[in-house]
Amino acid sequence: MQLVLSDIRSLFLEEFTAISVSDLLITFIASLALGILIAVIYKLTYSGVLFNYQFALGLVLLSMITGVIILAISANLVLSLGMVGALSIVRFRTAVKDPMDTVYMFWALATGILTGAGFLLIAALATVLIGIAMITLTTLIKRRGRSNSYLLVIRYEAYCRSDLNKSLKAVQDYRIKSKNIDDAFHEMVLEVQLNQRQLQIVEDLKALQGVIGVNLVSCENDGLGA
């Protein structure tokens, strides 16, 4: 029993000799602060319909976990070789729908790697500069009225086809995906490119006489319009 306790005590002493408590706390605090900053920037630049708080929390935890792993790897060569082999067989099957989510994940990983390796100043400076670039680019794109892809589903009676075609002239870029002709009504599905100002066309189409219903479905963010 005493032999086992002595072995455990020596094991802890070796670990704390290789990695000091101060280094662990500095890595933990730095990765936490920078991860929170990344999550805040993600919220500021998010352009979807429903904000995913779990993903924002995951960015913070991803930065912290990566920082601790890199800190442990840098202190032990054998552990680094074993970690490379272990991570090479890990497969993540969660689909990332938004390409920008992938960018933020790599950003959090890179921040954790830099903090774990001890490059705190580089990590902080890179996070601030990338954050400024993300906010600036997002603001410029929104000001120019970036068009989004939508599916416009229109149910109407046959006699209002001419009025419907006149209203659709306000949409500069669209194409017919499908068209269903029934005895009672017609249904047409259009793929359209609309910015925030052009979304008013949904209300205009609803106001047409003979139009039964109008649905606008976002193709990018899994959200529904009016």
Number of domains in the chain: 2
Name the token pair of 55.
């993903």
Is the model more confident about 162 or about 57? 57
At residue 156, the pLDDT reads 81
10 and 121 assigned to the same domain: yes
Domain boundary among 143, 171, 196: 143
Mean pLDDT of 91-119: 82
Backbone angles phi, psi at 145, to 5 degrees: 70, 55
Q: Are residues 55 and 110 in the same domain?
A: yes
Residue pair 59/39 in contact (Cβ under 8 Å)? The answer is: yes
pTM value is 0.61
Q: Which of 61-75, 87-101, 187-201 has the weakest average pLDDT? A: 87-101
Distance separating alpha carbons of residues 114 and 56, to the nearest angstrom:
20
| Residue 226 belongs to some domain of the structure | no
Are both 67 and 105 inside the same structural domain? yes
**Do 118 and 14 have their domain in common?**
yes
Q: How far is CA 111 from the centre of its chain?
A: 17
Contact 209, 147 (CB under 8 A): no
Task: Quickly state the pLDDT bin for 140 (edges 50, 70, 90).
Answer: confident
- Both 51 and 112 in a single domain? yes
Instruction: State the residue range of the domain holding 177.
Output: 148-218
Lowest mean pLDDT among 4-8, 93-97, 147-151, 211-215: 4-8
Residue 159: exposed, middle, or buried by beta-carbon count in 10 A (0-12, 13-18, 19+)?
A: exposed
Domain assignment present for residue 223? The answer is no
Query: Which is more confident, 152 or 107?
Result: 107
Question: So what's the pLDDT on residue 116?
Answer: 87
Same domain, 123 and 191: no
Q: Are both 130 and 170 inside the same structural domain?
A: no
136 and 208 part of one domain: no
Local confidence band at 152 (pLDDT 50, 70, 90 cut-offs): confident
With a cut of 70, say whether residue 59 has pLDDT above it: yes
Q: What is the pLDDT of residue 97?
A: 67
Report the pLDDT averaged over residues 27-45: 93
The confidence score (pLDDT) of residue 48 equals 65
Do both 45 and 157 map to the same domain?
no
Which pair of tokens denotes residue 18? Answer: 């290789």
The reply to whether 209 falls in a domain is yes
pLDDT in tens, 113-138: 899 888 999 999 999 999 999 999 88
3-state SS, the chain, equals CHHHHHHHHHHHHHHHHHCCHHHHHHHHHHHHHHHHHHHHHHHHHCCCCCCCHHHHHHHHHHHHHHHHHHHHHHHCHHHHHHHHHHHCCCCCCCCCCCHHHHHHHHHHHHHHHHHHCCCHHHHHHHHHHHHHHHHHHHHHHHHCCCCEEEEEEEEECHHHHHHHHHHHCCCCCEEEEEEEECCCCEEEEEEEEECCHHHHHHHHHHCCCCEEEEEEEECCCCCECC
Mean pLDDT of 165-175: 72
